[in-house]
Structure 1
Amino acid sequence: MAFKRNFNLKINKKKVYRLCKELNILRPQREIKPKHPRKIAKNRTVTASNQLWETDIKYGYIEGEDRFFYIMSIIDVADRDIVAHYIGLNCTGEDAVRLLKIALRKRQLYDAEIKPVIRSDNGPQYISHAFVSACEELGIEHERIPYKTPNMNAHIEAYHRILEDECLSINVFKSYTEAYKEVNDFVKKYSTKRIHSATKYMPPREYYEYLQRTNEKVNIRL
């Protein structure tokens, strides 16, 4: 347009590009940085604790304040223990990173050579640069389930159904403080009191300690 307006010249865009290229006066092209490759969850056989952790996010509602809050949890597939959880009015990739680090410290795995695989869905917290980069720095393999396949995250999904049925749906929270306390109390009860057929009718925390003490193997196929 500038050539036509200023010099009354009509010239093809491709010709302009070719001439500029020959004269080496093209502006440098923007460098596109490659994104982190997405690793798809695969079928696995879990035989012990700290081999595969699943993580996901659940929403709760505070009726007294007319707003939602977030519950992000990490479950060990072998022993069903909630290794760590987060409760907050916001939930970001940075929160997911902090929770993962807390879980590693709780299991004394932060500096371990072999760490659990962490499996998640494709929520924004888990595809964030912060979370993906943290997994790489920590030496943790992060795999994401394909879209619309919650069955591949079955253990955390089952836990969230229990959380909904036995805590969130039977409580009318008046404040965030109340919701925070009730959910924390539930998580503690779930891990230390609630028995499961899949854990030899032991609470998850007790079953984890049992597996560590006896070195007994489990056989969970996903």
Structure 2
Amino acid sequence: MWLCLRNLHYENQLEQIVLEDISFSYRSPGCGTPGAEAQYNQSKALSGWNFSIRKGDYVAIVGPSGCGKSTLLKLLMCLYQPDTGRRYLQLNHEQVPLDGTWQRLFAYVPQGNNLMQGTIRDMVAFADHNRRQDEPAIWQALSIACADDFVRGLDHGLDTELGERGAGLSEGQMQRLAIARAVFSRSPVLILDECSSALDEPTEAQLLHNLRAMTERTVIIITHRPAALQICDRIWRVDDKLQLT
């Protein structure tokens, strides 16, 4: 049954994403006898963590730097393999293993600038070449990300060429384009890592209002900013453990 769901509009059947009793260790090469099996030093990053998010939820993950927030996200997106525990989707009342074949569930906006060289149209459409001419959808994504006004003010609009890493734009403008790219994608789960850190308060407030209005999407935000926390249904706090506050 679950294999068939991959060929359907699975986002309509997604009920919940669950990480259950997850443990994960970073491994680095250790000392060993030449010719013997490789040995590793293990550094436990997290142990026995439980995390869940329901379809349509807006969830914040907060905690100090280095506490495991990014590791948690990479486990959720199946970029890391846990040592122990279960990852699964609740799809149409069935538990379906969450593995790397489900990575298109997620659109991830990381910290920092990861924009490629090219036109704004290409940046927003990214790998979806079949939709790069869908201007209404591109403008809608730019509007949600509060990027439409400055893009309309550029000499060539969507076809403005930008240098590598978005050269020619401010940090805040680059952040908004990265968010627009995630919104434009068909991924039902958006993961935003400090997505409004370079925005002024009025722009941040409008962006968060626009994101909250997307009732068909599920959103996970890593943030320390009070305005972003206010739009979230639940807040997960990470210290030496993960807990719902």
Q: Where on the TM-score scale, by shorter chain, does this alignment land: which range?
A: under 0.3
Q: TM-score, normalised by structure 1?
A: 0.24
Larger Cα-atom Rg: 1
Q: TM-score, normalised by structure 2?
A: 0.23
Which structure shows the bigger proportion of residues in strand conformation?
Answer: 2
